Amino acid sequence: MATLYCSECEEGNPCSNQHLYVIQLRDEIAENYETKSKKGYLYVGSTSTSVEKRGKQNFTLEDGTYVEPSVVYEDRQLPAEEQQWSEDRDWKYVTKSIQKIRSFFQEYRPDLILYENPISYDKNDSGKLERLEGKLADKLRNRGWRVINNVSWK
């Protein structure tokens, strides 16, 4: 049976294509930005695995422990010295934006993906996924969203 994000992926068995995804972040992230958004805050990403698998990687420690996003969010409300799930832990996946994703994750927004997943890899167009990711981010910005990562096609 297809997943919510891709007609060709099955739960536990991703297709061999690429995917775009959008994460809506909690409004509290606005404290980090001078320019505010009336609609909300998003992270636009891409992956060569399933969106579900990529999402779990965001909240998995090196030892394989998976921590629910809501648990991480509640933990991040505590003083730093009391946090069990701080960024000082050995998280499996580390990127520039991941701390904000882990701290403010609200939900995935497949309704905001303006391109059909999966996106086939084209050896003659190796930048296709990054181009579509940038175009999606630009379109969402033009619609009033604040996209926190600096991906763009302009």
Q: Would you state the pLDDT for residue 97?
A: 92
Question: Where do the structural domains in the chain lie, given as residue ranges?
Answer: 19-147
Residue whose C-alpha is closest to residue 78's, from 103, 107, 105: 103
Measured between alpha carbons, how far is 152 from 147 in angstroms, rounded to an integer?
A: 10
Percent of the chain whose pLDDT exceeds 90: 82
The residue whose two tokens read 């996209």 is 147
pTM score: 0.93
- pLDDT for 20-69, tens place per residue? 999 999 999 999 999 889 899 999 999 999 999 999 999 999 999 999 99
Examine the pLDDT at 15 and tell me if it is beyond 80: yes
Q: Tell me what the pLDDT averaged over the chain comes to.
A: 93
| pLDDT (mean) for 74-79 | 96
